[in-house]
Amino acid sequence: MTSAGSGLTLLQTCALSLLVFTGASQFALVGALAAGGNPLTAAAGAFFLGVRNAFYGLRLSQLLALPRAVRPFAAQWVIDETTAVALAQPTRRSARIGFAVTGLSLYLLWNLTTLLGALGAEAIGDTEAWGLDAAGPAVFLALLAPMLKTTTERAVAALAVVLGLGLLPVLPAGVPVLVAALAAPAVLWAQGRRRGGTRTHDGVQDTHPDAYAQDTPEEDR
């Protein structure tokens, strides 16, 4: 229904779920389209959100050690849930089974519910009258909020919100999402600068530049 509210047809909605099997990227794409964003810009934002799956793939390739011919097909199922299930298994065989069962069941259910939702959206007619254009951002926030567990993650999220909302009036729709991606390197850079300015003396972290001089005997200065 979210996709239909963004103006995608039934065929486009189903194709999106079949080819882009990652919820965050799908919701980002349809959310940007619903806001009137350029399709290329919306696709770029969805791509950057899906990059994390590549890092999952690096870890799973070592754990599962699948035959080379199977890897391109298995890559389609590399998502948060399949990675978590595979990594929780004690042996390679059980990891392969867990990955396959989780990937197949989620892929089938995801696409089935996508079809049912798109058909339901066509049945109710004007999706804007039901406020479905707000469903995409709402679902995306619901998926994101539980993942913000550390101070760094919360800082990145807060800065991304500031960048995204602050640039909405001055940039084309969809572009603020791409700019908001700079929040992560910006926060990491700030943390690196803060840690770099901290010195360790006798096992104690000193933030004052004259801390060492104050502890040094007068004749040694």
Of 132, 147, 162, the domain-final residue: 147
pLDDT of 194 over the 50 cut: yes
The string of pLDDT tens digits covering residues 33-56 is 776 767 787 787 778 777 878 888
Range with the poorest average pLDDT among 5-9, 78-82, 144-148: 5-9
Mean pLDDT is highest, among 22-36, 78-92, 146-160, 206-220, for 78-92
Residue 75 pLDDT greater than 80, yes or no: yes
Phi-psi category of residue 216: left, alpha or beta, with phi > 0 → left and psi -120 to 50 → alpha: beta
| Distance of alpha carbon 196 from alpha carbon 190, whole angstroms | 10
Is position 219 within any domain? no
- What tens digit of pLDDT does each residue of 113-153 get? 888 887 876 666 555 555 555 555 665 567 567 778 888 88
User: Domain boundary at 105, 132, 147, which?
Assistant: 147
Are residues 66 and 173 located together in one domain of the fold? no
Domain that holds residue 193: 150-198
Predicted model pTM: 0.57
pLDDT score of 100 more than 90: yes
Strands (E), 6-106: none
